[in-house]
Amino acid sequence: MEGITGSEDWVSASASRVDLTIGSSRVSVTKNRAEVMRRFAGWELFFFTLDSPYHGQGPLALAGTALSDPAQIGAMAHDFWTNRVWHHGDVFGALGETVLMAFLGTFGAALIALPLAFVAASNFGVSRILRQVARRFFDFLRGVDGLIWTIILSRAFGPGPLTGSLAILITDVGSFGKLFSESLENIDGKQVEGLRSTGAGPLQRARWGVLPQVAPVVLSQVLYFLESNTRGATVIGAIVGGGIGLMLTQAIQTQQDWEHVAYYIVLIVLVVMVMDWFSGMLRRRLIKG
């Protein structure tokens, strides 16, 4: 122990323990044991951990193993999915939870807002008082930010993906109600009058004369909001403890697992890109008929 007389930036000594830090390595010596630890970024364990028989093998070696014994493919997938350092299974499960949160909130809001939009539209024989009540209701829901609804609902229902879905649903009901009612006010009334002349009732006129006209616009708006809410669900999940947002927050709080932070951000960006491509493709098909 000669030469260690106190505490320096790289050494800490006491009567029962000595800790020595050199670069990315740390040595800990006590009366009972000695430990040598080396920190590294962890990317070399991204696919397989040290306890996996496939660790350290290159792509060509892995491909050769899979071709020689196809049964090894399942074992490779299992070791990758159950990686105890990167937790790929948990990460993709949380990512699916985030997408599900956005999906339930968006389409649930659309189902609620569509019938209410008929009440708010000025060209559908509803009383003026009910129309104004519906419009002010939509203004109130979309006037409060989704994050505020998240905080309020988390006190009522507790943290979890259900709270995030409800926050998205409440906010989007207000937005969809306004957009859908404006679409209903711009329909061609000749089709509705033609059905009325044949003796069709209100529900039949709405089903065969109104919905075919507004369906492309409504579905296009819903798909656009689904893409946007996928991004928003990440932030909401960080607040209410659900989805990939929670894992991202936990990784940032450690101030050490920045490679995990980068991994989560890349996955979020890829999911948003896929959702953007998918919703854009469906919108183009709907607009073109």
Q: What is the mean pLDDT of residues 132-155?
A: 89
Strand partners, 37: 26
122 and 235 fall within a common domain:
yes
Number of independent structural domains in the chain? 2
- pLDDT band of residue 37 (cuts 50, 70, 90) is low
65 and 161, same domain (yes or no): no
Kindly state whether residues 62 and 147 are assigned to the same domain. Answer: no
**What range defines the domain where residue 65 resides?**
43-81
The predicted structure's pLDDT at residue 5: 40
Residue 124 within a domain: yes
The pLDDT of 227-247, averaged and rounded, is 85
Residue 4 lies in a domain: no
Percentage with pLDDT > 90 across the chain: 20
Structure tokens at 168: 């998205």
Percentage of residues in the chain having pLDDT higher than 70: 91
Measured distance CA(262)–CA(160) in Å, rounded: 24
**Of residues 60 and 194, more confidently modeled:** 60
Q: Is the pLDDT of residue 112 over 90?
A: yes
Residues 260 and 224 in one domain: yes
Q: Are residues 72 and 128 in the same domain?
A: no
pTM attached to this predicted model: 0.76
Phi, psi of 135 (to 5 degrees): -65, -40
Q: Residue 140: which pLDDT band, with cuts at 50, 70 and 90? A: very high
Q: DSSP label at 44?
A: G
The mean of the pLDDT values for the chain is: 83
Q: Sheet containing 17-22: give its strands across.
A: 11-13, 17-22, 25-30, 34-38
Same domain, 65 and 165: no
What type of residue sits at position 205? R
98: pLDDT strictly greater than 80: yes
Instruction: With cut-offs at 50, 70 and 90, classify the pLDDT of residue 7.
Output: very low
Q: Domain of 221: which CATH number?
A: 1.10.3720.10
Average pLDDT over residues 236-265: 83
- Host H or E run for residue 36: strand 34-38
Where does residue 55 fall: left (phi above 0), alpha (psi -120 to 50 degrees), or beta otherwise?
A: beta
- Considering the domain boundaries, does residue 170 fall inside one? yes
Q: Which two tokens stand for residue 180?
A: 């859908």
Residue 114 lies in a domain: yes
Could you tell me the two tokens for 62?
A: 């892995």
